[in-house]
A and B are shown apart, each in its own frame.
Chain A
Amino acid sequence: MKLPSARLATSQSAPTRTLFLAQVRIARNRASQLRRRPAPLVLKGTLVILATVLVFGSTFAMFAVLFRGIALDTATTAIAAILGVLTASGFLGTTSLALQGLFLGSDLPFLRSLPLPLRSIYLLKFSATVIGTGAMLPLWLGVSSGVAFALGGSWLSALTIIAVLTAFIVSATSCSVIIVTLIGRWLPARHARVTLAGVSLCLVFAIAATTRFLAPQPVSISTPIAAGMFINPIARAGARLNDSPFAWAADAIVASATGDLPRLLRATALVVGGTGAVAMLAFLVFAAYFVVGADRYRLAGGPPARRTHSSPLVRLTRPLDNSLAALVWKEWLVAGRDLRRLSGAIWPLGLVVFYAISLARRGSPEAPMAAPFGFWLEAGPVFLLPWGMSLGTTFYAFGSERRNLHLLRILPVTAHRLLLGKILAALAPILVLSQGAVAVVAVAKAASLLEWLSLAALVAWTALGYVTIDTAAAAVAPNFDTDQLQRATGLPGRLFGLAFGGLFTLASAGAVAMLVILKAGPVAGDLPTFVRTSPFSWPIVLLLTALAATTVFICFKIGQHRVARLLQPAPPR
């Protein structure tokens, strides 16, 4: 005879199972649609496998070498620090995924209209968020497995690593759910977006500060290379994390590698128990505040009862012709009112602010390095800021169009114009913000006018380059079916952006570095003679500049070709 509780459990789990089965069927149907076009599927699969193997393999090898012969205590605290940094840096990504899935999902109204317990909806969305963080997994696995291998790991290590990392991902997602739900609960109806931006920036600062707190101090390159040169500073930072979940996880990994079973059981129990407690708390908070939070987030996305004021933004686009201007201001207005896109932008934006302040504070104009390269060594990294911003805003340019791709298809818009409109729309705010960062850094470093102008020109150039590359990347593999903004560009697009962005960075940085050295002339006495005196120095500068420009041009052309494909009528089969 079945117990009543067993029957109850079965009947209560049925809606959840039905929901998950529906998701499985949707995924299966999508896959069967993709199978009709085998070439892109094979290419995508190959890229995914290659990227996973590359990330896992390189981190595994690096950490296996770094941790060889390291004392167990040092290894434990070092792993704790590394896990802390990885968790902190991945945390905001998880938070925006949780916000987009649990509160802004387009299927939420439908799901809420069905006779489903809140628990079922929560489990579905929570799982989708956990799966969304999967991109970080090869990195985490590579680090943990490399360390375990270096310490003599066994099959027990593999099991422990899987358990610990699963627990970490669940914990991080649970923390994100708690934060997102609590923000939604107390989000004021008026000034909701400003409040959200403020809270998000505070979060970014807190996380960036944590990461910096855990990061090792820079190692002087004059120090002879010795065992533990890289690990010891990390371990010193990790010692601050004693009795935290990071320390328990590190303890479990090390204990599994050394076969210390009692220590392994104790540490694993702490990690799993802590995860269970956080997961339960997350659900309780969600269940208590979901309804009010969902309504407040909906209002924050665009106040339906409030009149819109778009004219100042529209006026800014007047120098452009009407149709190009329309594409630009449409993008600004839609992105500014779409909480999904805003939540994707807040992380890189916060980092930019943090980075600019950090650069401005680091060192001083009177430092010995001030002449002749001091300014460029300290302020030069500002040229990477547009890349950070572009990754958070431009990268979703096409996937975020979702169903409105069909509207663009029926409008008389060429691929060239649409791509240009997207680039200009993304470029303008990035240019303004990055030039603001340049000004802060230049003033803080007491830069000369020439240095300021040079840095401003460099940042303008990189902003144009990164935005063009990332917009093209967004056109290479757009995903129009996802609620999660981070998944609006598929892996081929991400790899495209990374490869061309990396090439552009190397070429631009190389050209600028050589220019600075050449301009310094004889005072650059410590530098290799060939850089200053070689007859090829100037041609190399020109070659690198041409390479950077060609990279941008090629990306624009590829992007234009891909957009033309997107706008084309569906081909006959």
Chain B
Amino acid sequence: MIIVEGLTKRYDLEAVVSDLSFTVAAGELFVFLGPNGAGKTSTIKMLTGQLAPSAGTALVAGHDVGRDPLALKRVIGYMAEAPYLYDKLSGREFLAFIADIFGVTNQDRQERTARLLRLFDLEEAADLIIEAYSQGMRQKIALASVLIHEPKVLFLDEPTNGLDPRSARIVKNVLRDICQRGATVFLTTHLLDVAEQMCDRIAILNVGRLVAIGSMAELRRAVALPAATLEEIYLHLTGSADYGELGLYAADRQR
């Protein structure tokens, strides 16, 4: 469903993403991890046609991201880390707007809107303007909006940001359900336990380069730590395994 070959992004002369190559199968829940500034969002933006790659190619749902952006956008859903919403529309109006743009039929739109509002516990707030929503509600309405046209590939940048535990649980279940129906989910998160519980495969990016990719078992084998958690693998691979440095702040305060 996603085939990436030598994908590179440079700003001026500095490469923020270097020579990425990987594939993601249909129905797979793929998690993209990395420290802040590792190039996760730039990669997602290239895969969703928002950023032109400096080199390399990427096929998403059979569409070359550089060649046919419109056809690509019709079959994907993208939710940014800070979602883009029309604050002056109500939640229901915003869902209707997105559904109409994607050409969802009126009957499907009404049925899906009702289902998604119920699923994300937004029925009460559906007719209030989004400006009045809390951060968690904004996150949920944004997620509902990317699901309303039932995309083949879903790109989610930190989808559980600002969600309470119950909502985060709902999101996890929804994503699992989407994958079971054959769609692909490509997500980034800093919540490593969420990633470990949910994902089929994980890719770890550091300073723009792919340092590991595979299932949990494959990652453990790669770092030769058979019982390691994802957090330990992540810290090991991103150069933060020296746990002593994490204690610096406490030591500094005691001084």
Binding site for B on A (CB under 8 A): 301-308, 310, 314, 322-323, 325-327, 329-330, 333-334, 337-338, 403-404, 406-407, 409-414, 568-573
Question: Taking beta carbons and an 8 Å cutoff, which residues of B are in contact with A?
Answer: 9-12, 45, 48-54, 69-70, 73-74, 78, 80, 84-90, 93, 96-98, 100-104, 106, 127-129, 131-132
Contact B100 A337 (CB under 8 A): no
24 A/B residue pairs, CB under 8 Å, sorted by A: A301-B88, A304-B128, A304-B131, A306-B128, A308-B89, A323-B100, A323-B102, A325-B100, A326-B96, A330-B97, A333-B93, A334-B86, A404-B85, A407-B85, A410-B73, A411-B98, A412-B70, A414-B70, A569-B45, A569-B52, A570-B50, A572-B9, A572-B10, A573-B10
Chain B residues contacting A409 (CB-CB under 8 Å) are 50
The answer to whether B51 touches A411 (Cβ under 8 A) is no
Complex Cα–Cα for A329 and B106 (A): 15
Q: Do B86 and A411 have beta carbons less than 8 Å apart?
A: no
In this complex, what residue of B is CB-closest to A409?
B50
Residue of A nearest to B80 (CB): A406
Q: Give the complex CA separation of A569 and B48 in angstroms.
A: 9
Given the known inter-chain contacts A308-B128, A337-B88, please indicate yes or no for A406 contacting B93, CB distance below 8 A: no
CB pair A308–B73 under 8 Å, yes or no, is: no
A302 to B129, CA, bound (A): 7
Give Cα distance in the complex from A330 to B129, angstroms: 13
A314: chain B residues within 8 A (beta carbon): 96
Closest to B149 in A: A412
B90 partner residues in chain A, CB cutoff 8 A: 307-308, 310
Q: A322-B100, A325-B100, A570-B51 are contacts. A307–B127 as well, Cβ < 8 Å?
A: yes
- Nearest A residue (CB) for B104: A322
Counting chain B CB atoms within 10 Å of each CB, the highest count among A333, A409, A410, A570 belongs to A410
A308 neighbours in B (Cβ, 8 Å):
89-90, 93, 127-129
Partner of B102, one of A305, A329, A412, A573: A412
Contacts of B12 in A (CB 8 A): 573
- Asked if A322 and B69 make an inter-chain contact with CB atoms under 8 angstroms apart, the answer reads no
Q: Are A410 and B48 in contact (CB under 8 A)?
A: yes
Q: Among A302, A404, A568, A573, which residue has its beta carbon within 8 angstroms of that of B131?
A: A302
B128 interface neighbour in A307, A333, A404, A572, Cβ under 8 Å: A307
Task: Kindly identify which residue among A305, A310, A403, A569 contacts B84, using a CB–CB cutoff of 8 Å.
Answer: A403
Contact call B84/A572, Cβ cutoff below 8 A: no
CA distance A537 to B156 in the complex (A): 65
B84 touches A406 (CB 8 A): yes
Cβ contacts under 8 Å, A406 to chain B:
50, 80, 84
Bound-state CA distance A410–B69 (Å) is 9
Q: Which residues of B contact A571 (CB under 8 A)?
A: 52
State in angstroms the CA–CA spacing of A542 and B102 once bound together: 42
What is the distance, in angstroms, from B92's C-beta to the closest C-beta of chain A? Answer: 8
Q: For B45, B89, B127, which residue has the most chain A Cβ atoms within 10 angstroms?
A: B89
Which A residues are CB-close (under 8 A) to B10?
Answer: 572-573
Q: Which residues of A contact B52 (CB under 8 A)?
A: 568-572
Contacts of A412 in B (CB 8 A): 70, 73-74, 101-102
Bound state CA distance, A409 and B70, in angstroms? 10
A572 to B129 alpha-carbon distance, docked (Å): 37
Chain B neighbourhood of A304, CB < 8 A: 128-129, 131-132
Of all chain A residues, the one with the shortest Cβ separation from B83 is A407
Q: How far is the CB of A186 from chain B (nearest CB, A)?
A: 23
Closest to B132 in A: A304
A3 to chain B, nearest CB (A): 40
Q: Which 10 A-B pairs have the closest CB atoms?
A: A304-B132, A326-B100, A407-B84, A412-B73, A337-B88, A572-B54, A307-B127, A322-B100, A308-B90, A412-B74
Q: In the complex, which residues of chain B have a beta carbon less than 8 angstroms from the beta carbon of A327?
A: 101
Q: Please, how many angstroms separate the alpha-carbon atoms of A308 and B130 in the complex?
A: 11
**Max chain A Cβ within 10 angstroms of own Cβ: one of B9, B78, B86, B100:** B100
C-alpha gap A494/B51 in the complex (Å): 29
**What is the CB-to-nearest-CB distance from B13 to chain A, in angstroms, rounded to a whole number?**
9
Q: A410-B78, A572-B10 are in contact. Are A404 and B50 (CB under 8 A)?
A: no
Complex contacts, B98 vs chain A, CB 8 Å: 411
Q: A326: which B residues are within 8 A, CB to CB?
A: 96-97, 100-101
Q: Decide if A302 touches B88 in the complex (CB within 8 Å).
A: yes
Q: Beyond the given A333-B88, A338-B88, could you list 9 further A-B residue pairs with CB under 8 A, ordered by the A residue number? A: A302-B131, A304-B131, A307-B127, A308-B129, A326-B100, A411-B73, A570-B51, A572-B52, A573-B12
Closest-CB distance, B27 to chain A (whole angstroms): 23
Residue of A nearest to B106 (CB): A322
How many Å lie between the Cα of A412 and that of B100 in the bound state? 11
Q: Smallest distance from the beta carbon of B132 to chain A beta carbons, Å? A: 3
| Residues of chain A within 8 A of B106, CB atoms compared | 322
**Residues of chain A lying within 8 A (CB to CB) of residue B100:** 322-323, 325-326
Q: How far is the CA of A329 from the CA of B100 in the complex (A)?
A: 11
- Please report the C-alpha to C-alpha distance between residue A430 and residue B89 in the assembled complex, in whole angstroms: 22
Check B129–A337 contact: CB distance below 8 A.
Answer: yes
Bound Cα distance from A333 to B100, whole angstroms: 15
A303–B49 CA distance with the chains assembled, in angstroms: 36
Residue of B nearest to A334 (CB): B88
Chain A residues in 8 Å Cβ range of B132: 302, 304-305
Min CB gap B244→A, angstroms: 36
Q: Which residue of A lies closest to B87 (CB)?
A: A302
Listed residue (B93, B104, B127) with the most chain A CB atoms within 10 angstroms of its CB: B93
B127 engages A410 (CB within 8 Å): no
Among residues of A, the one whose C-beta sits closest to the C-beta of B12 is A573
B73 to chain A: closest CB distance in Å?
4
Cα(A334)–Cα(B52), bound, Å: 31
Q: Is the CB of B11 within 8 A of A573?
A: yes
How far, in angstroms, from A92 to B123 measured CA to CA in the complex?
A: 42
Contacts of B50 in A (CB 8 A): 406, 409-410, 569-570
The distance in angstroms between the C-alpha atoms of A334 and B80, with both chains bound, is: 21
